[in-house]
């Protein structure tokens, strides 16, 4: 009887020890898709500042790096604008999200944006992006893919229907790969271009995006009140605000 009790105690101890390594802290994984405003073309660089070391991103060598003050600094033919070191709204998004998490939880941002692209670019590159997401899930047992922030549309203003169909196709791809995860997109913001025809298309596209969000029950953030760096790119202060807005939609 004593021997049986001893075996039970040892077994419970081993189960307890083993469970800790499997459970541990949760890793919340998010992907950031889109074009130049998601990359960050704010034109201003934040000085190095303390950012929570629980916020990381996946670099091009599939290594997790602690976020400092930028995400998009590596060269690639399909992920980043080359040779730029930009602040992304994904950083302030992660900073806001982590405020609501347990103290030991971590966030991984997977950058998947490239400037001057149409919706078809994101569709064509989705398998590459999905592989990056899956890599984190496969190599970190506590990782959970929770959703996507998306900021793109400027290059599709001439045909809103193509953009809307593209978003629905992208959502189908995401669901087929990862199930029903959160998706929030940014409405395009202001544009200071002095071309009436172009501006009319731009404003119409904004209306189409808003209606699309309502009709399909897809979350959207507004950006038209955010300050600009140039004729259409949101400045760094505005990008900070946009990231928080993305997070607030996730948290609803």
Q: What is the mean pLDDT of each run of 10 residues along the chain (252 residues)?
A: 39 34 77 92 63 89 83 55 64 94 93 91 94 96 97 96 98 98 97 93 97 98 95 91 97 94
Residue 79 and residue 199: Cα distance in Å, rounded? 28
* Residue 72 per-residue DSSP state: B
**H-helix or E-strand spanning residue 54:** none
Q: How many residues does the chain have?
A: 252
Q: Are 76 and 23 in contact (CB under 8 A)?
A: no
How high is the pLDDT of residue 41? 80
Burial 145-177 (b: 16+ CB within 10 A, else e): bbbbbbbbbbbbbeebeebbebbeebbebbeeb
Place of tokens 């080359």: 82
Spell out the domains of the chain, with CATH numbers in brackets. Answer: 25-251 (3.40.50.1110)
Residue spans of beta strands (DSSP E) within 72-203? 106-113, 143-151, 182-186
How high is the pLDDT of residue 19? 29
Question: Backbone phi, then psi, for 65, in 5-degree steps?
Answer: -120, 145
Cross-strand pairs, 56: 66, 108
């Amino acid at each position: 009887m004593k021997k049986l009790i001893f075996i039970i105690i040892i077994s419970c101890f081993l189960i307890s020890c083993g469970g800790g390594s499997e459970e541990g802290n949760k890793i919340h994984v998010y992907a950031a898709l889109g074009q130049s405003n998601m990359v960050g073309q704010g034109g201003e660089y934040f000085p190095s500042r303390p950012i929570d070391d629980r916020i990381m991103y996946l670099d091009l060598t599939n290594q997790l790096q602690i976020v400092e003050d930028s995400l998009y600094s590596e060269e690639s033919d399909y992920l980043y604008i080359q040779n730029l070191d930009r602040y992304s709204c994904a950083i302030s998004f992660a900073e806001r999200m982590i405020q609501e998490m347990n103290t030991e939880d971590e966030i991984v941002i997977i950058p998947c944006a490239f400037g001057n692209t149409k919706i078809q670019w994101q569709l064509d590159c989705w398998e590459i992006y999905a592989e990056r997401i899956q890599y984190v899930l496969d190599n970190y047992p506590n990782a959970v893919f929770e959703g996507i922030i998306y900021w793109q549309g400027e290059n599709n203003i001439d045909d809103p229907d193509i953009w809307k169909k593209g978003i629905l196709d992208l959502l189908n791809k995401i669901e087929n790969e990862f199930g029903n995860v959160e998706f929030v997109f940014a409405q395009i913001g202001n544009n200071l271009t002095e071309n009436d025809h172009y501006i009319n298309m731009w404003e119409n596209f904004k209306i189409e995006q808003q209606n699309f969000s309502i009709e399909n029950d897809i979350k959207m953030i507004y950006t038209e009140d955010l300050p600009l760096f140039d004729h259409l790119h949101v400045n760094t202060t505005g990008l900070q605000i946009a990231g928080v807005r993305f997070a607030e939609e996730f948290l609803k």
